[in-house]
Amino acid sequence: MKSKYMAISQAAEYLHVGVSTLRRWEREGKIKPYRTEGNERRYTKEMLDNVLVGKRPVSKRNTELVIGYCRVSSSHQKEDLERQKTVVQAYCERQGAPFRIISDVGSGLNYQKKGLQKLIHLICTNQCSEIVVNYKDRLVRFGFELIEEMCKEHDVKITVINQTQDEEANEELVDDVLSVITVFSAKLYGKRSHKNEKI
């Protein structure tokens, strides 16, 4: 089956214009292509036809993609990660909308995880309609409200499948709290050492 999405060269050919013209129209706000994970532009026939009749793109999410996000703290929890994926995938399949699963291995306190960064990018660029997680703390350990507010700004729904407490997550919480204490202790010790050196 032929894809309904066109690359920029195909779109330019369809409109009988140059690729540079399409890029200029995007800067001017006349057209708003979708973006792939590799940041490549994608166009639909409807989008291009609207340009021909002078319609500006509607300021709305450009896809109904659902993102299932799964996370564990360490590599020895891979079985749990697979269980999360199974649950989240089954939920997304029941909804019937197109979906993608993004997974991470890392602490809930680490906001630099590759998968989380990708998720935030999809939210901020209006490339998804819903985020699905098995447990609330699978998204982030602290600061869930910030992600929630970001989603509200971009009209993205957050669905938490399981509202009960995950026992394994309790163990992770202890590890995360110990990590925070270790970091603060190290900083405090460093300040004291520096002060003692001055004395």
48-93: per-residue pLDDT in tens?
988 887 765 544 444 578 999 999 988 899 999 999 999 999 999 8
Q: Which residues of the chain have pLDDT under 70?
A: 1-3, 55-63, 165-199
- pTM assigned to the model: 0.56
What does 16-46 look like in DSSP terms, one character per residue? TS-HHHHHHHHHTTS---EE-TT--EEEEHH
Terminal CA-to-CA distance of the chain, rounded, Å?
76
Q: What are the structural domain ranges in the chain?
A: 5-52, 66-167
pLDDT, residue 35, reads: 82
* Alpha carbon 108 to its chain's center: 15
pLDDT, residue 98, reads: 86
Active site residues: 73
pLDDT, residue 107, reads: 86
pLDDT, residue 110, reads: 84
pLDDT, residue 50, reads: 86
What residue ranges in the chain does DSSP mark as E strands? 5-6, 34-35, 41-44, 66-72, 99-105, 130-133, 157-160
Q: Into which CATH architecture does domain 66-167 fall?
A: 3-Layer(aba) Sandwich (3.40)
Q: Where does 5-52 sit in CATH, by number?
A: 1.10.1660.10
